[in-house]
Structure 1
Amino acid sequence: MAKRENYISWDQYFMGVALLSAQRSKDPNTQVGACIVNSEHRIVGVGYNGFPAGCGDDALPWDREGEYLDTKYPFVVHAELNAILNSIQNLRGCTIYVALFPCNECAKAIIQSGISEIVYLSDKYADTDAVKASKLMLAQANVKMRKLEPLPENIVLKFN
Structure 2
Amino acid sequence: MSEELPPLNGHGAEALSKKREDYLEWCEYFMAVAFLAAQRSKDPSSQVGACIVNSENKIVGIGYNGMPNGCHDDVLPWARTAQNKLDTKYPYGIKEVIFMSDKYHDSPEMQASRHMFDLSGVKYTKFVPKRRKIVIDFDSINTRQSLKPL
Shift, 1:63, TM fit: 2.6
In structure 2, stretches of 5+ residues that fail to align are 1-16, 140-150
| Identity, % of aligned positions | 51
Greater share of residues in helix: 1
Which aligned pairs between 1:70-149 and structure 2 lie closer than 5 A?
105=88, 108-110=89-91, 113-149=92-128
Aligned to 1:46: 62
> Which is higher, the Rg of structure 1 or of structure 2?
2
Distance 1:64 1:142, change over 3 A: closer
Aligned residues: 123
Structure 1 residues without counterparts, runs of 5 or longer: 75-102
SS at 1:109's partner residue? coil
TM-score w.r.t. structure 1 length?
Answer: 0.70
| Misfit runs of 4+, over 4 Å | none
C-alpha RMSD of the superposition? 2.0
- Shift in Å, 1:8: 1.0
Matching residue's letter, 1:43: I
User: Which moved further from structure 2: 148-157 or 28-37?
Assistant: 148-157
Query: Which letter maps to 2:38?
Result: A
CA separation of 1:104 and 1:41: change in aligned 2, threshold 3 A = farther
Name the CA distance, whole Å, in 1 between partners of 2:37 and 2:58.
16
Residue by residue over 1:1-45, the C-alpha shift from the partner in whole angstroms, topping out at 9 and shown as x without a partner, is 321111111000001111100101111111111111111111101
TM-score by length of 2: 0.74
